[in-house]
Structure 1
Amino acid sequence: MRRTPAVLGVAAVVVTGLAPAAGAETVTTADTIHTVTLVTGDRVVVQDVGGRQTATVVPRPGSSGDFVNQRIDGDLYVMPATALPYLGSSLDRSLFDVSALIRDGITDQVPVQVTANAATANVPGVQDGKVTAESGAAFGAALAAQAGRDAKNHFADRGPLFGTVSQVRLAAPGAPQQVHPNFPMHTVRILTMNGANTPVDAALGVINTNDGRNFNAFPYSTAGEARVSVPAGDYGMVAWFPTFDSAGRVTSVRVVVQDIVVTSDQTVTIDGSKATSQITVSTPKPSNLTSESLEYFRSAQTMGSQGYGFGVGNGTAFVAPSAPAKVGGFHFNVLTHSESPAGTTTPYSYDLKIDNDGALAANQHYKVSADQVATLKESYYSDKPRQEGIARIIFLPYEVFGFGQFAPFGAPLQRTEYVLGSPDLVYSDALLASMTTGGGFTPGGFRNFAANTTTPIEWLRGPLAPGLSTPPAGTTSWLCSACRRDDTIRVTLVPVLDSNGHGLYLDPPATGTVSTSHFQLLSGGKALIDGKDVVGGEATAPAAQADYKIVYDQTRTAPWFHQSTVSHSEWTFGSAHSGAQTVPNGWLCDPITGKATDCSALPMVTASYQLKAGLDGNAPAGPDQVVVTFGHAPGGQNLPFQKADIQVSFDGGATWTPTFLADLGGGRYRAQWTNPASTTGGDVSLRVSATDVAGNSLTQSVTSAFSVPGAQS
């Protein structure tokens, strides 16, 4: 990527998935995943995997706002930008401390304490002292509306929240109190201005760049002033000056960074009017900016760091040129998502990330050439027309944290998406299948793309069925999904897999949404594991060779889809004491110790589907086919298959019709049949089975795997 005149690096990466249905006992994994509901009804999915941490926001239904993330070393805060002006006054910052909420086990509802100037205060979304995943949307909408109103007066006279509320606090331990160092302290008065004699609010970040343990915080300047008490030393400061529209959306932001040396009490002025360098990006083909995020990162010389990410949507962003940082590290990244003009015959998009290393340059125009990009041919399958979203989090080589927001689009859709190609850039995407309901979170894996290459990628191509996850090529550390270590059997299913290997997680049960499942591990007529709404577990097994069966039933219905609603899967396999390691080095088979000692993969059979249905999940009446590839759990031996069978049902599984089956070799089978024509059309169910030469087998049925539309009059 070129920034006139310098050359800069660019990248992209994404997040991983939501937990299974609410109330499910998820299996502990070495790659920890947490989903946290904020008081505003937005959800944050946090994953630690492979030394990186990623966080993706699933916005509340109806949300169109942008988000801010703040990081002090390992602690993460995530909040809608509309919350910023109220932090520390009407809103307790702990409400948005995602790391502390996870530590306190506050993931699906937020206990709050409300202080009001009326005997009975009506706080939107608060029910019996809690904000739930469903009620939080009302809190978030009311907060956005108030921010829109207060922005007209530049937040000079905020008044109480929602008319009567002076403060909303987290009714839980929350974030630990910052321990102040035992040093002589100096008061720094920070004045935030928009030109001479014009005080203005600003969100701040302040870190001691000698050692972040001395001071590291995010004060807010109210009415143009903030005060901090700090020890002597070198400090890095960032000030964000946002503007909002009447709906609480960010329309612009000005960013000023500057370093100071503190030796005594002093006053520092930060002038937002100096941010006059507008950030712009030009792409090889014409494109319109739809979302932009800015990321500030400052690291101390000895220990500690501070990160501050700010979503700007399609607003404008300006920065003030800065002098090179003298103490500690400095980065300022710009992440843009732009799309082809309306009416373009073949739609496309660009996702670009630009790094300012060491200082903010005066020239903030960036230019991308065609020979620098990689081409992704993306297909988004959708059995109902709906608004979906794609989040592309980007990791530059030095980054260990990535934050993602969803860019909406109408599905089904085929689109060309351009990203910068480089071995130093890591890409991983997440799909939100329903922006309306917040359902269908589908993570992707970490990937690299070379410039001038083309890669096809398919999302939610059916049938959607339970299965086992597979580590991406080149993975050196991975938690085995179906393994035995000594005499402990451990299995973790992915609730829903698409044909491209993406794992979709079940939506939390709600009005109109059903997410339920039943998992059993059986042997010798005894249930070793028998759990509702779980995707696996651990069980102690006899050392001697024995036969085992896993039965997994699942029902999933929601307003945003109508296919692949019910599945029944049965795995049979043999297993004995594992006294040697057969999985690759680096694989984790014990989530507690992180060891792979004496670990071997279970010989579970897997199935991968390739239907001929279109992007809308429909196939015409007449001849049809599916190619099914049978294999085995990752890390295990790929045994030959001795038999297979594929059947279809046109009456919801009441009766099954055999297909003409051709063995293509290597575990691949092609089944052919004829879809009947009718005036009303209907859904077609699919049932497959295969048995390898050792007797291990899989039988799996999927109700409404695809649809045949009615005949046109």
Structure 2
Amino acid sequence: MARRLFGARRFPAVLAAGALAVGAGLLGGGIDAASGAPPGAGGPAYRATGPAPGSGSATVTLITGDRVTASTGADGKRLYTVAPGPGRGKITFVQRAHGTSTSVVPSDALPLLERKLLDPRLFDIPGLLRQGYDDRATQVLPLIVKYADGSAPARTSLARSAQPGRELPSIGAQAMAERKADAGQFWQSVRSAAPGGANLAPGVARIWLDARVRATLDRSVAQVGAPQAWQAGFTGTGVTTAILDTGIDAAHPDLDDAIAEAVDFSDSPTGTADLYGHGTHVASIITGDGSAAQGKYKGVAPDTRLVIGKVLGDDGRGEESDIIAGMEWAAARAKVVNMSLGSDYPTDGTDPMSLAVNALSGSTGSLFVISAGNAGQWGDSSIGSPGAADAALTVGAVDADDRVAPFSSRGPRFGDRAFKPEISAPGVEIAAARASGTSMGHPVDENYTRASGTSMAAPHVAGAAAILAQRHPDWTGQQLKGALVAASTVVPDDNVWGQGVGRLDVAAAVGSRVSASPASISADVRWPYPGNITRTVTYRNDGDQPVVLDLAATVDKTAAAAGTLIGVTPARLSVPARGTAEATVTFTPTTADAGVHGGRLTATGPDGKAVARTGIALSVEAEAYDLKIKFLDRKGGQPEFVVIQLINTDIRADYPIIRTPDGYVARVPKGAYALSTLIPTGTPEEAPDNWTAAGVPRLALTGDTSLAFDARAGRPSDITADTPKAAVVDMRVLGIRAGIGDWALTWTAHVFDPAVKLYAIPTNTPADPAFAVRVGSFRHTEPAATDPGRKYHLMVSHNGSIPADPSVRLRVADLAVAEVRVHDAGAAGTAEFTRGAYWDGDEFAIGLNWNAPVPGTWKEYMTAAPDLGWYGVVEGKQIWEIGDLTRFPARRTTIEAWNKAAFGPQVEVQVCDAALRVTTRPFSPSGKGHTAAHPRGLAKVTLLRDGVELSSFTDYSGELPGLTADKAVYTLRLTARQFNEPTEADEQVDAEWTLTAQAGGCEDGEAAWLPVVRARIDGDFDLRNATRAGVPHTLRASFERTDGTPVQVRDPRFEASYDGGRTWQRLPSVPNGQGHIAVAWPPRSTSGYVALRVTARDAAGNTLTQTATHAYLVTGPPAHLPEAPCPGTDRGRPPCAARQGGCLSAAAALACGGRSRRPDPRELPWSARPRRSSVVGRQSSTVGRQSSVVDCGRPVIAGRCVT
């Protein structure tokens, strides 16, 4: 079709990484849900980290005013494009890629990150995209600014480029919305008075991203023992419970008399109404009376009163500042605060929300009950904020059989390995109130729905806390926490990191007269181990008689494992009536194996039954040493900051390196390491004037070790070639990679300022195959009257070590050449074209983008190497297209076509459980291995069985539930429309696929591909995606599976319409290799778009029928077209060479269906030329020396008779 491409940016850098970001390493991921996971899904099936594969690009503006654009190909590889902000061309951008985590940090932000003055999430590109902070979604970047003394001038300065928001007195901070258009000014205000660039401006203490948070029973209430508490007279009467969530359906029959107050903190246009359904479901678990189901779905504390703080919007998402404001409001009104929300970014409890939990718990005495999160699939230490707070009662999830749910986030806490979660409760398939008009979870009926997640577990505990607060109205929140944890029931089949101390037991908590505090004890012990470490546990007896307790510890599920590691004195403790007594727990780390040990301290009464339990977490450091590192820059001074990473290659772990007055230090266990670093020279506020790469490929640490790096030992690290003298250098690259195998971390400096020098220090240690230094240069020549300009992309990797001379000179004659052709049917303009280099085993690509003429063609000269591939991306107003990784051969020219007709639909289909996961690209170009997305269109995808619609969605991708356990034939139907310019008709694609499927295919979280048939139609079109009227032309069709593998089809049918779909003509076709060739011959009067219809069936019976109204363009007939028509048509007869006697060409004969002369093979496209001979009316074959000629009486093309 006429794909028009508009708009571009000039010469930013390109970075690429895998599509999945888990928040590991330097920068963390964003805030994610704590609930709403479908049953059995284990939380979200995947983490969205920006544009889905093949869905287009998204741009984020950093706090500094620089912009980063992310594009994702069909193979999941991510390209990141960096565009410096106005006046920031001298800034170097450092990219960190580790695993699937990628950050892009300007050099003037690095010292502030190193000193923990900036939140690393501000530069986590996948995390920012995941939270919806891209520029298309929002024109502001939400921040939380913590102020110091004398903040008035800073507040005034920042307010010039940001909108001040809520005051957050619990953490001494304020929410601010930085206007992206003024981000450069805001950044200057933050740093303007910072000497050396290593501090924030006076009055500003720290800046966090105001990250977004997403909202994460019939038998579950009985499972936790609530009915026994009711029988004892405890239903939460007189206790106020706050819920901070998505609002409330105050008219729901189960909740209509439970709401005391409701306030909106989310600025929702619907006020406190719950349009998402999460808050209502949570409220029902706490206090619903079940009246809409005759009491079947009754809450844990049916008589507690609720105050509702709507902190999450109608899309189930909210910002941390809104949540903190809601926490401050709720803690002043309620004894118990339920927060079924949180982050999947592991935290050590020093983030804003966790700090607020601790501060408010101490100042108000309220208990914050918080879900652990749904990141259990990421393993231990996956609890995020605010559940990581010390004071929080953090809740994991179990199913109806008391098995820990696989999605439930696990302890110990990230960083200090403290005990988390403290308790667990039912959180799988919980039936509770359904807000009117919502569809969250799996609806039971109009009043109830089932949902899974730790969001459903937390309100069980909050309801129990309300009951216990009625029982003990004078208790503080921490006393309630200790009692609930102490009375929990141990789940035998899992350790404490999933279930906490145990599963909630409301009846036991209400009935117990003995409680313990704190709820857990933790110790983090360094090697070499000091003397014994002690912790105190206090037991409280609320009975009228003294009680004697026998105390014993278990670790890692067994008492034997505790051995001499944990001692308790006294072993038998007498607690007076209405009094307390203390026991001392002694850890002896010298007797422990290195690692994290989890267990319980159990107090048993005279009857031998456990009456109180306390959690135990003991982290014992392995044999470890200090690695001290000193740096000198190229001026002989200590640099303001360095970029450094240390990886343990034995266990594949990276370690934090702390800045000290004397340099840097890392505390690491004995073992083998790899170290990489980039050393800047110059002051950050003026940007470094040179960078030096250094590293140690192999480093054995067996004791305290000191290293020193002197940048003055660096050798120039440049890459040059015999390019024209007029070639302009756009960007240079210096990168260093260290690790083991494919598990590595890469730092890359992207330098735009030609004055900045690059160096590398040669290594004098053994080489390692995972170690590499990368140097690169990207340059261009300006277009001239007879030359469209050339691009030179030069990349070299020094693998194993840094050589004595890291500079490289290449010959242009040895490079690979890509002749790029960008097609477009519109008027001449420009589009943004990107080229990125990808080294095997890396997590990112390095490259450049530029404004390209469209339609247009140019040549790119690129380094060719066995382990080097190249990506391309073209982006305009109506199209976005990315190519698969391509390895261009050296000293050869490869034609690379973009945005080329014929256009038609592509689809990817996977099955997971009882649903299809479908991604469609309705207006895809013909290029195999190319993936396209379309920002200006609509699509509807429907799943049918036997003509009955099962499900649908209105988008380019989504899920379609409705599969059954038995195999059945389903129909997948696509209808899509692309909105063109007002002077041009919109284009439409309709397609249907039949396929055989059944529920299943999601073992280990991996969805299974389904064998859908796809078609790609290519042709000999000019740069305007056009062919001429009155002249026959061939169409080359190839068929493939969803995953791109070729497939043979039977009896495909090709039809064309030259009048907008009013009439259709079947096109003659023949097989050709794994595809087919069809011939179209548009009438001389044709002008405009050709519509194509394709029908095909594979051997398994899967079918395809697709229609595209704007497949390609037809322009007027050539001036030399003779008037003599093809018999019975208004098509012109093409001229023949005089020596051939004047007749139809082979293509014309195929189109006309008549006999003709022997064709000249030069008249056919290469793909259609015969290997031996081609005769119209006869098919010839030769075997050995014998020849036989068969008269088939039909046209022959490509050696085949045509039907």
**Is the pair's TM-score, using the shorter chain for normalization, greater than 0.5?**
yes
Q: Does 1:445 align with 2:884?
A: yes
Q: Does 1:338 align with 2:784?
A: no
Letter of the aligned partner of 2:694 in structure 1? V
Pick the aligned partner of 1:296 from 736, 740, 755.
736
Deviations 1:401-436 (A, max 9, x none): 2234432132223122233334x32414131414xx
Equivalents in 1 of 2:162, 2:972: separation in Å? Answer: 45
Q: Does 1:168 align with 2:576?
A: no
- After the TM superposition, which residues 114-263 of structure 1 pair with which residues of structure 2 at under 5 Å, given as runs? 114-116=145-147, 117-118=151-152, 119=155, 121-122=158-159, 124=161, 137-138=180-181, 140-142=183-185, 156=196, 160=200, 167-172=206-211, 174=345, 176-177=347-348, 179=415, 182-183=526-527, 186=626, 188=628, 190=630, 192-196=632-636, 198-207=637-646, 216-217=655-656, 226-231=663-668, 236=675, 238-241=677-680, 252-257=689-694
Q: Does 1:670 align with 2:1079?
A: yes
On the 8 A contact 1:609/1:629 being kept in 2, the answer is yes
- After the TM superposition, which residues 500-539 of structure 1 pair with which residues of structure 2 at under 5 Å, given as runs? 500-501=927-928, 502-507=930-935, 514-539=936-961
On the 8 A contact 1:389/1:407 being kept in 2, the answer is yes
Equivalents in 1 of 2:642, 2:1068: separation in Å? Answer: 65
Does the C-alpha gap of structure 1 residues 450 and 293 become closer, same or farther in structure 2, counting only changes over 3 Å? same
Q: Which residue of 1 aligns with 2:835?
A: 391
Q: Which residue of 2 aligns with 1:457?
A: 896
Q: Does 1:610 align with 2:1019?
A: yes
Q: Which residue of 1 aligns with 2:765?
A: 325
Letter of the aligned partner of 1:56 in structure 2? L
Letter of the aligned partner of 1:115 in structure 2? K
Match of 1:323, SS state, is: coil
Shift, 1:39, TM fit? 5.4
Letter of the aligned partner of 1:321 in structure 2? I
On the 8 A contact 1:207/1:216 being kept in 2, the answer is yes
Q: Which residue of 2 aligns with 1:567?
A: 988
Shift, 1:392, TM fit? 1.5
Equivalents in 2 of 1:18, 1:687: separation in Å? Answer: 37
Q: Does 1:631 align with 2:1039?
A: yes
On the 8 A contact 2:900/2:925 being kept in 1, the answer is yes
Shift, 1:187, TM fit? 8.4
Pick the aligned partner of 2:109 from 77, 83, 102.
83
On the 8 A contact 2:736/2:748 being kept in 1, the answer is yes
Q: Which residue of 1 aligns with 2:875?
A: 433
Shift, 1:239, TM fit? 3.3
Equivalents in 2 of 1:43, 1:464: separation in Å? Answer: 30
The higher radius of gyration belongs to: 2
Letter of the aligned partner of 1:523 in structure 2? R
Deviations 1:326-374 (A, max 9, x none): 5966321113223346537263333232222344334233122456433
Shift, 1:531, TM fit? 0.3
Match of 1:673, SS state, is: coil
Equivalents in 2 of 1:310, 1:644: separation in Å? Answer: 52
Match of 1:57, SS state, is: strand
Q: Which residue of 1 aligns with 2:919?
A: 492
Equivalents in 2 of 1:360, 1:208: separation in Å? Answer: 18
Does the C-alpha gap of structure 1 residues 595 and 390 become closer, same or farther in structure 2, counting only changes over 3 Å? closer
Q: Which residue of 1 aligns with 2:353?
A: none
Equivalents in 1 of 2:932, 2:921: separation in Å? Answer: 8
Match of 1:411, SS state, is: strand
Match of 2:757, SS state, is: strand
Does the C-alpha gap of structure 1 residues 80 and 199 become closer, same or farther in structure 2, counting only changes over 3 Å? closer
Letter of the aligned partner of 1:95 in structure 2? L
Work out the number of aligned pairs and report it.
633
Equivalents in 1 of 2:653, 2:1079: separation in Å? Answer: 66
Q: Which residue of 1 aligns with 2:1107?
A: 700
On the 8 A contact 2:641/2:680 being kept in 1, the answer is yes
Q: Which residue of 2 aligns with 1:585?
A: none
Higher mean C-alpha displacement, 163-172 vs 208-217? 208-217
Pick the aligned partner of 1:70 from 92, 96, 112.
96
Equivalents in 2 of 1:558, 1:290: separation in Å? Answer: 34
On the 8 A contact 1:495/1:535 being kept in 2, the answer is no
Does the C-alpha gap of structure 1 residues 38 and 283 become closer, same or farther in structure 2, counting only changes over 3 Å? same
Letter of the aligned partner of 1:336 in structure 2? S
Shift, 1:169, TM fit? 0.6
Deviations 1:549-590 (A, max 9, x none): 51221335699xx989632212153x44679xxxxxxxx965
Equivalents in 2 of 1:111, 1:530: separation in Å? Answer: 35
Equivalents in 1 of 2:188, 2:890: separation in Å? Answer: 44
Equivalents in 1 of 2:706, 2:993: separation in Å? Answer: 72
Does the C-alpha gap of structure 1 residues 623 and 341 become closer, same or farther in structure 2, counting only changes over 3 Å? same
Equivalents in 2 of 1:143, 1:702: separation in Å? Answer: 49
Equivalents in 1 of 2:915, 2:527: separation in Å? Answer: 53
On the 8 A contact 1:211/1:304 being kept in 2, the answer is no
Deviations 1:114-153 (A, max 9, x none): 2353456427466868999xx8743654467679x97xx9
Does the C-alpha gap of structure 1 residues 191 and 534 become closer, same or farther in structure 2, counting only changes over 3 Å? same
Pick the aligned partner of 2:144 from 102, 105, 113.
113
Equivalents in 1 of 2:19, 2:127: separation in Å? Answer: 20
Does the C-alpha gap of structure 1 residues 368 and 605 become closer, same or farther in structure 2, counting only changes over 3 Å? closer
Q: Percent identity over the alignment? A: 12
Does the C-alpha gap of structure 1 residues 140 and 500 become closer, same or farther in structure 2, counting only changes over 3 Å? farther
Shift, 1:646, TM fit? 0.8
Shift, 1:645, TM fit? 1.3
Equivalents in 2 of 1:166, 1:351: separation in Å? Answer: 43
On the 8 A contact 2:913/2:1002 being kept in 1, the answer is no
Pick the aligned partner of 1:92 from 119, 132, 137.
119
Deviations 1:28-87 (A, max 9, x none): 99998644865517456487998xx84421446977776321245554322344533432
Does the C-alpha gap of structure 1 residues 158 and 676 become closer, same or farther in structure 2, counting only changes over 3 Å? farther
Equivalents in 2 of 1:268, 1:308: separation in Å? Answer: 19
Equivalents in 2 of 1:554, 1:363: separation in Å? Answer: 57
Equivalents in 1 of 2:1104, 2:836: separation in Å? Answer: 38
On the 8 A contact 1:377/1:455 being kept in 2, the answer is yes
Q: Which residue of 1 aligns with 2:857?
A: 414
Does the C-alpha gap of structure 1 residues 144 and 255 become closer, same or farther in structure 2, counting only changes over 3 Å? farther
Shift, 1:491, TM fit? 4.2
Equivalents in 2 of 1:661, 1:39: separation in Å? Answer: 51
Root-mean-square deviation (Å): 5.2
Shift, 1:378, TM fit? 1.7
Equivalents in 1 of 2:955, 2:819: separation in Å? Answer: 35
Does the C-alpha gap of structure 1 residues 58 and 432 become closer, same or farther in structure 2, counting only changes over 3 Å? farther
On the 8 A contact 1:15/1:393 being kept in 2, the answer is no
Match of 2:121, SS state, is: helix
On the 8 A contact 2:647/2:738 being kept in 1, the answer is no
Q: Normalising by structure 2, what TM-score?
A: 0.45
Q: Which residue of 1 aligns with 2:817?
A: 375
Shift, 1:609, TM fit? 3.7
Equivalents in 1 of 2:1106, 2:735: separation in Å? Answer: 48
Equivalents in 2 of 1:429, 1:564: separation in Å? Answer: 33
Higher mean C-alpha displacement, 371-380 vs 483-492? 483-492
Letter of the aligned partner of 2:1089 in structure 1? V
On the 8 A contact 2:639/2:682 being kept in 1, the answer is no
Letter of the aligned partner of 1:568 in structure 2? V
Letter of the aligned partner of 1:537 in structure 2? E
Query: Which structure carries more helix by proportion?
Result: 2
Letter of the aligned partner of 1:240 in structure 2? I
Q: Does 1:601 align with 2:1011?
A: yes
Equivalents in 2 of 1:421, 1:428: separation in Å? Answer: 9
Match of 2:144, SS state, is: strand
